[in-house]
Chain A
């Protein structure tokens, strides 16, 4: 009858309240300790190409008041609209949350908030190939005592210059949540990244 019939909806969190709370706690922990890999315990049954952690993060953060942009296709859009009830927007610059499963949208094109209200910025949930706490990058900044190692696979080459440019806009800027499988890492706008020698 409708094109959606060929891509059946799947359930969201098994226990919507408790699961969203535990996922929120993990996101909070990830933002407070940039670079530490968090493993989510409760994962929704998300349609491809959404990774479980990215889907859980969106279900936790997005609601009817947060415009969401995603490149993940109609099945993922229908799933998000049904479970999170969030409006979907076509332009990345208008979104409060973005879920990128393919190429990373340029950070400079996303909402960065204003000097008076820097919290009105976008959070980009980005699916990557792998996340490991291994010495490839050295992270520093608030929430990290000295430095923290992190290795991310599947980011474009332009990521480090883009991230450095994002930091120059402080207090404006975009926050990042990297997801791989059931694991996620947050990179708030204050985190500095150096390539380990």
Chain B
């Protein structure tokens, strides 16, 4: 198929999609719903799968490059939905909040539509990103206050 010129190229769309899926997965249902109140109404959807809760084995590597090992299982809720135009949206969120998973999946599907994207990005995704950045900065500032400067201590002696 010939790609429509209005679409961003796939790697860019992929990066954008990764960002909004991550932000939606880290937000909670109440926050997403509050943001949606200011956004244009979401399109109707049908559920393809879920929302359903299960366990996912998380794996890690020691030092980032060692042999992979199983770290432990974590509770994950997933949901996949389809809009009327056939766009499929997916969500995998930590925990057992089915409403969050479904909202995130519908938003993922709606955000893939270039016509709906700007309004939804502005109303939902950017506020979530700003809130997350503020939270990270606040935590970093709190941690920074208790930081011990080993180098400074050595020179003070």
User: Interface of A with B (CB < 8 Å)?
Assistant: 1-3, 5-6, 8-12, 16, 82-83
The smallest beta-carbon distance between A42 and chain B, in angstroms, is: 16
User: Interface of B with A (CB < 8 Å)?
Assistant: 1, 3, 7, 10, 46-49, 52, 80, 82, 86-88
- List 16 additional contacts besides A1-B1, A9-B48, A16-B52; criterion CB under 8 Å: A3-B1, A5-B86, A5-B87, A6-B86, A8-B82, A8-B86, A8-B88, A10-B48, A11-B47, A11-B48, A11-B49, A12-B49, A82-B48, A82-B49, A82-B80, A83-B49
A7 closest partner in B (C-beta): B86
Q: A5-B86, A6-B86 are in contact. Are A11 and B46 (CB under 8 A)?
A: yes
Chain A residues with Cβ below 8 Å from B1 are 1-3
Chain A residues with Cβ below 8 Å from B82 are 8-9
Q: Point out which of A3, A6, A8 has the most chain B C-beta atoms below 10 A from its C-beta.
A: A8
Chain B residues with Cβ below 8 Å from A5 are 86-87
Chain B residues with Cβ below 8 Å from A16 are 49, 52
Chain B residues with Cβ below 8 Å from A83 are 49
B7 closest partner in A (C-beta): A1
CA distance in complex: A1, B13 (Å): 11
21 contacting pairs across A/B (C-beta < 8 A): A1-B1, A1-B3, A1-B10, A3-B1, A5-B86, A8-B82, A8-B86, A8-B88, A9-B48, A9-B82, A10-B48, A11-B47, A11-B48, A11-B49, A12-B48, A12-B49, A16-B49, A16-B52, A82-B48, A82-B80, A83-B49
Chain A residues with Cβ below 8 Å from B47 are 11
Chain B residues with Cβ below 8 Å from A9 are 48, 82, 88
The smallest beta-carbon distance between A66 and chain B, in angstroms, is: 19
The smallest beta-carbon distance between B2 and chain A, in angstroms, is: 11
CA distance in complex: A9, B3 (Å): 21
Q: Point out which of A3, A5, A9, A12 has the most chain B C-beta atoms below 10 A from its C-beta.
A: A9
A6 closest partner in B (C-beta): B86
CA distance in complex: A11, B82 (Å): 9
CA distance in complex: A87, B88 (Å): 21
The smallest beta-carbon distance between A7 and chain B, in angstroms, is: 8
Chain A residues with Cβ below 8 Å from B46 are 11
